[in-house]
Chain A
């Protein structure tokens, strides 16, 4: 037992000291800076500006989650069930963006969507528009960029669920004359529903604390929670409020993760 203590303690001490302890410090700040009590939480949960940011974050993250999971479902279908060549091609389309830096990907969307970007230039050259359409620095760009980032993360739980589908059930239904559409909607989709749920919760959790893509593509016009925390630290220092917001965010994410675990626990049993 002493050996176990000796081996496990370095990491536990390291994280306890450099992660748990400062997080407790943040929690303390949230109750004491600048005034003692719940006033920081009151500000987070009642200030109209803050509430509008929370509301926008939840709304955009839900849209992003639905878009990413739907796109991921379609492409995972091909990745898991397609013919070998198709499988290889889809794998490349999923893995190459996955391993590329979030900054390069955000830049790619700027190059695509900005006023002097590819899309506007093409549309102008084709004579479809006279002046550039504003496609960055707004919620549209944030949704596009975040969905693009999160699709691969939705693919992995979906692929697991699709690989676990019992092929015999599908063959049986097919053999008994069910149409392809019916096999898909009445068998395949319900059989992969747990994967969809898992992917949904996972992507939502990831999206809600997202900072880089919204900050770059939103251009300060559609601030989300994470960017608000950044502003509260570096632009208009309000440590207590930033700390309170972080604690609220942590609790929300913890709650969703708890749901996720319980869901997978049920399936495992």
Chain B
């Protein structure tokens, strides 16, 4: 059976779309080598000063650190809460399971600006009671990120659980295992890859989170995206270009490596 492949017109149009998709990623490269302090193209002489400033300016380092802290803590909270929730739903199928799942997915589908306003309002209220989980504090940002990323953890873990053979759990149950044993010795070890995947996805989402972070931070807890925002909003700082080039290189490397591994597996398999 011959498969109909896209023709010349479709290929040509796709090439234009592909170019459109890659254009801004390419555009940052020359700008990052400019020798001036504002957004411009290098005028004959290339300079690495903006790359140097990323490493010399302690503020970028501080932001990197707080991004990692927030990402790890929020992903950790999200994965623990989500796995307890998903296992509860999977094992015992409580009534209203659909409603409960719909509710926990709410932060994922609600418009980000509404979630941002809601969390800003909440953290403002909390600031009156304590100074740890509060506006512009690390704890507050972790809480806000956890709310925003936990639905994704729920989705990933639900998918992992749906591929788990129910009979394994039933066998454990019929041999007298209690609920904690079933959870910790049977279910969790079997979905560990789902948990790891959920953690990585959560970390990436938190690492990139800017919508909510803009509302709940100002000067004290500045994550990397928040610092980039400051450099973009006031006057465009070419250091952002240097940072973007580094990030784009990392992402491209990971994706190309992944594709290469897949290709090899497919070759070996076929």
Contacts and interface: CB of A to CB of B under 8 A. Distances in A.
Interface of A: 1, 3-8, 10-12, 14-15, 18-23, 25-26, 29, 71-72, 74-75, 77-78, 81-83, 86, 88-97, 99-112, 114, 116-118, 121, 148, 151, 167, 170-171, 174, 180, 183, 205, 208-212, 215-216, 225-226, 229-230, 233, 242-243, 246, 249-250, 253, 257
Contacts of A86: 11
B1 interface: yes
Interface residues of B, number: 90
B118 A212 contact: no
Contacts of A183: 4
A22 B118 contact: yes
Contact of A10 (B81, B116, B233): B81
B138 to A, nearest CB: 16
Contacts of A71: 17, 20
A75 B18 contact: yes
A121 B21 contact: no
A18 B30 CA distance: 44
Interface of B: 1-7, 10-11, 13-14, 17-18, 20-28, 30-31, 38-41, 81-82, 84-85, 87-89, 91-92, 94, 100, 103-104, 106-107, 109-122, 125, 143, 146-147, 150, 154, 179, 183, 204, 208, 210-211, 214-215, 225, 228-229, 232-233, 236, 240-241, 243-244, 247-248, 251-252, 254-256, 259, 263
Contacts of B111: 205, 208-209, 226, 246, 249-250, 253
Contacts of A101: 208, 210, 225, 228, 244, 247
B2 to A, nearest CB: 7
Main secondary structure of the interface of B (DSSP, over half): helix
Given A71-B17, A151-B17, A19 B107 contact: yes
24 contacts: A4-B88, A6-B88, A11-B154, A14-B147, A15-B150, A22-B125, A25-B125, A90-B18, A101-B210, A101-B244, A104-B240, A104-B248, A107-B241, A109-B27, A110-B236, A111-B27, A116-B40, A118-B27, A118-B31, A148-B20, A209-B114, A226-B112, A230-B113, A243-B117
A94 B244 contact: no
A77 B6 contact: yes
Interface centre among B7, B28, B40, B94 (most CB of A within 10 A): B28
A112 B23 contact: yes
A89 to B, nearest CB: 8
Contacts of A121: 41
Given A11-B150, A171-B1, A233-B120, A102 B208 contact: yes
Interface centre among A100, A101, A109, A211 (most CB of B within 10 A): A101
Contacts of B211: 211-212
A63 B244 CA distance: 28
Given A19-B122, A75-B18, A230-B215, 19 more contacts: A3-B179, A8-B84, A11-B150, A12-B104, A19-B119, A19-B147, A26-B118, A77-B10, A78-B6, A96-B21, A96-B255, A108-B28, A110-B39, A116-B38, A117-B39, A170-B4, A174-B2, A205-B109, A229-B113
Contact of A19 (B31, B106, B214): B106
